[in-house]
Amino acid sequence: MTEQDKKSGTNGEEQLRGEKFFNDPGFWGFIHRSFTKSMGYTDGDLRKPVIGIANTFSELNKCHSHFRELTEYVKRGVWQAGGLPMEFPTISIGEPYVKPTTMLLRNLMAMDTEEMIKGHQIDGVVLIGGCDKTVPAQLMAAISANVPAIVLTGGPMLNGRLNGQSLGACTDCYQFTLEHKAGNISDQQLSDAENAVCRSDGHCQVMGTASTMAAIAEALGMALPGCAAIPAPDSRRRHMSEATGIQIVELVRRNIRPRDIITPESIDNAIRVTMACAGSTNAIIHLVAIAGRLGYKLPLERFDEISAATPFILNVRPSGKYQMEEFFEAGGVPALMKELEPRLNGDCLTVTGQTVAENLRDVTIPNRDVVAPLDQPLGAQGGIAVLRGNLAPNGALIKQTAVSEHLKKHRGRAVVFNSPQDLIDRVDDPNLDVEESSVLVLKNAGPKGAPAMPEIGQIPIPKKLLLQGVRDMVRISDARISGTSYGALIVHTAPEAAVGGPLALVEDGDEIELDIEARKLELYVDDETLRRRKEKWQAPAPAYDRGYGLLFIERVLQADEGCDFDFLQPPEIRNKK
């Protein structure tokens, strides 16, 4: 943090922002006091540090359905600690509700949140988020606004239950719809599953993007220890909310800010936790964007380096066996970090006001079936591998823990779909020229192409192969996948097809090779042929010709750069290009 934007707290050198706001001796002070007191606050209240609470409750976001209640518990904590809680709304984005994809609105939410924090005279802020894109948006905003902040995540749903089976969204949502499509389960069974998978408040129960980002908020030091895994309806999430309210006042008093907490070292801790829990590939885009807000250009290779040196030890779906509820009972993120402690940067400061090492001092690991020991891991390496090759010069990702064994090294012929719509139109055509060994390629589903990289990288298995029992194939796209997806899915291919990346040049029948161990993704077409194809290539028409959609297409960065808007990054990183 520069001295210029660092402002002292209650250390006597300078007033808090809220104090200045209410104590202005002139006309504006009168207005600020008069207007605020009309809502029932007293002069005594207006002398307290002002704590903003970003409440992203929305009936258009199931994962945030309980946030009104959590907000009340945060307020309770703020009052107890001598602060003045002031709740405000920001936009709220729920995965299944926003079309074409929430990713289109992540940066808008980050801008909304940042400007709300900066535009109001608040001294600290609690950011209540949960569903996939909300926590990264809030973390990006927190860094840019750099006012003392704590993230409070909303917690996962209770495990779904049906016929003695434990179910989780959205992994089982795919399974049930797939088996229904294959004719293996009835309409009634599908309906029963619908009612059973989601049975409480909270976000998805597996280690999808929401759970991964909650774990990351904790690993970065921006959420209180233990926050991520407490189920949404559990009374202990209310206690955590109150504790967060108390702690934000303390952070204001001590003037601890997001840029004191989020550093390249704490980002390494977050990457390590992501890899140890085989977290969502989406987390990579978000962490690169978060780093970018610091002015830190985080290379994809850092993920691969840490992944290679971090065993996969968290036995939670989609790569493991259990769900967030069992992870909570097994000690949650603190237990996972305790096991990883020898490989973490223990000196990083956190919102407790203490370091990672201090936070972990008394942590125990009660269940070794959920948090496996480092020397008896579920996989020798972390969940995500970064692939390179002439098909992805700027990288592509694969969640290696979710790939069928026989596809980890595979060579096959491309079956190409030119757009998400082309995929929908043709994938189930009985005449599609495809076989089990084919490599399905989806183009124009990237940051500018789709736009906003919808989670359609889990290209469906063509129905005719599905009926033959095929359940996994190598699939390549410039799209994203849901953190709950499963299979040999190569995603985030960069540069994307819509800007003329090599993916744009693939044609039906081309040979493609995936070799996860060698981190290779190769298109076997000679350079001369590729050059001729490139000459004929035309960029697809943009999906928007006005408004926010157009701004998005014009200013969004590629997947390997975090898909932030270029102008939201600090000038020092922009000038490096």
Residues in contact with ligand FES by the rule CB under 6 A: 63, 94-96, 131-132, 169-170, 203-204, 208, 210
204-236 exposure pattern, b = at least 16 Cβ within 10 A, e = fewer:
bbbbbbbbbbbbbbbbbbbbbbbbbbbbbbbee
- Residue 131 binds which one of ligand FES, Mg ion, none, with CB within 5 to 8 A depending on kind? ligand FES
> Any contact of residue 307 with Mg ion (CB under 5 A)?
no
Name the minimum Å distance from CB 539 to Mg ion: 29
Nearest to 308, CA basis, from 385, 368, 210: 385
Q: Which residues contact 44 (CB under 8 A, 6 or more apart)?
A: none
Name the minimum Å distance from CB 171 to ligand FES: 10
Name the minimum Å distance from CB 95 to Mg ion: 5
Name the minimum Å distance from CB 153 to ligand FES: 10
Task: Tell me the per-residue interface mask from 123 to 142 with Mg ion, x by CB under 5 A, - otherwise.
Answer: ---------x----------
Cα-based angle 466, 455, 179 (whole degrees, multiple of 5): 25
**What is the Cα–Cα distance from 407 to 448, expressed in whole angstroms?**
30
Task: Tell me the per-residue interface mask from 83 to 122 with Mg ion, x by CB under 5 A, - otherwise.
Answer: ------------x---------------------------
Nearest to 286, CA basis, from 75, 162, 102: 102
Of the two residues 209 and 401, which places its CB atom closer to Mg ion in the complex? 209
Task: Tell me the per-residue interface mask from 168 to 207 with Mg ion, x by CB under 5 A, - otherwise.
Answer: ----------------------------------------
What's the Cα-to-Cα distance from 252 to each of 94, 149, 266, 354, 430, rounded to whole Å?
Answer: 30, 9, 21, 15, 63
What's the Cα-to-Cα distance from 35 to each of 28, 54, 241, rounded to whole Å?
Answer: 10, 21, 28
Of the two residues 170 and 423, which places its CB atom closer to ligand FES in the complex? 170
- Residue 268 binds which one of Mg ion, ligand FES, none, with CB within 5 to 8 A depending on kind? none
Of the two residues 134 and 350, which places its CB atom closer to ligand FES in the complex? 134
Assigned token pair, 168: 């989780």
**What is the Cα–Cα distance from 474 to 514, expressed in whole angstroms?**
8
Q: Tokens 């692939």 sit at which residue? A: 387
**Candidate residues 134, 146, 205, 209; the one interacting with Mg ion per rule CB under 5 A:** 209
- Residue 442 binds which one of ligand FES, Mg ion, none, with CB within 5 to 8 A depending on kind? none
Cβ atoms of residues 405 and 429 within 8 Å: no
**Candidate residues 359, 482, 485, 569; the one interacting with Mg ion per rule CB under 5 A:** 482
Of the two residues 210 and 415, which places its CB atom closer to ligand FES in the complex? 210
Assigned token pair, 266: 């704490």
> Any contact of residue 241 with Mg ion (CB under 5 A)?
no
Would you give the end-to-end CA distance of the chain in angstroms? Answer: 22
Name the minimum Å distance from CB 97 to ligand FES: 8
- Residue 96 binds which one of ligand FES, Mg ion, none, with CB within 5 to 8 A depending on kind? ligand FES
Name the minimum Å distance from CB 159 to Mg ion: 17
Query: What SS3 class is residue 385?
Result: strand
> Any contact of residue 326 with Mg ion (CB under 5 A)?
no
Name the minimum Å distance from CB 455 to Mg ion: 7
Of the two residues 230 and 474, which places its CB atom closer to ligand FES in the complex? 230
- Residue 203 binds which one of ligand FES, Mg ion, none, with CB within 5 to 8 A depending on kind? ligand FES
Of the two residues 105 and 360, which places its CB atom closer to Mg ion in the complex? 105
**What is the Cα–Cα distance from 319 to 280, expressed in whole angstroms?**
10
**What is the Cα–Cα distance from 434 to 262, expressed in whole angstroms?**
47
Of the two residues 209 and 558, which places its CB atom closer to ligand FES in the complex? 209
**DSSP per residue, 141-199:** HHHHH-S-EEEEE--BPPPEEETTEEE-TTHHHHHHHHHHHTTSS-HHHHHHHHHHH--
Q: Put residue 2 in one of left, alpha, beta given phi > 0 → left and psi -120 to 50 → alpha.
A: beta
Residues forming contacts to Mg ion in the complex (CB under 5 A) are 95, 132, 208-209, 482
